[in-house]
C-alpha cells in the first residue's frame, strides 16, 4: 500500500499550510477564470479532488487533539473555506 498514514505535527503542518494556500488561491483563480484555456479549467477540476481529500483528512485530525496554534490556524482555514466555497462550487460546475 503506497499510502503513508501519519498524524504527526509535521503532517498537521503540511495539511494546514497546503490547504490555506489552495483555498486562498481560489479568489485569484476565480478572477482569472474567464480568461483561462479550457485545458487549464480541466486541470483544476481534475485536481481539486486532492485538496478535498486533504481537507477531509484535516477534519478527521481536528476532531482529536490540536495545539492552540494549530487550532487557531484550523479555525482560519474553516473561515476561508466557508467564504470561498460558493465561488469554488461555481467553478467546478462550469
Footprint on this chain of another protein (rule: CB under 8 A): 1-4, 14, 18, 21-22, 24-25, 28-29, 32, 36-43, 45-50, 52-53
Q: Which is nearer to another protein, 25 or 76 (CB)?
A: 25
Comparison of 4 and 68: residue with beta carbon closer to another protein: 4
Establish how many alpha carbons lie within 13 A of residue 43's alpha carbon, considering only the half-sphere containing its beta carbon.
Answer: 7
Do residues 88 and 49 lie in contact, with contact meaning Cβ atoms separated by under 8 Å? Answer: no
Residue 90: name the closest of 37, 26, 39 by CA. Answer: 26
For another protein, the closer of residues 51 and 68 by Cβ is 51
Amino acid at each position: 500500500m503506497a499510502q503513508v498514514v501519519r498524524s504527526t505535527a509535521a503532517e498537521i503542518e503540511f495539511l494546514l499550510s497546503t490547504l490555506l494556500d489552495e483555498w486562498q488561491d481560489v479568489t485569484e483563480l476565480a478572477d482569472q477564470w474567464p480568461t483561462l484555456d479550457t485545458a487549464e479549467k480541466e486541470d483544476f477540476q481534475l485536481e481539486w479532488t486532492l485538496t478535498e481529500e486533504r481537507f477531509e483528512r484535516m477534519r478527521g485530525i481536528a476532531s482529536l487533539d490540536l495545539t492552540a496554534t494549530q487550532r487557531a490556524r484550523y479555525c482560519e482555514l474553516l473561515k476561508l473555506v466557508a467564504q470561498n466555497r460558493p465561488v469554488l462550487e461555481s467553478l467546478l460546475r462550469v
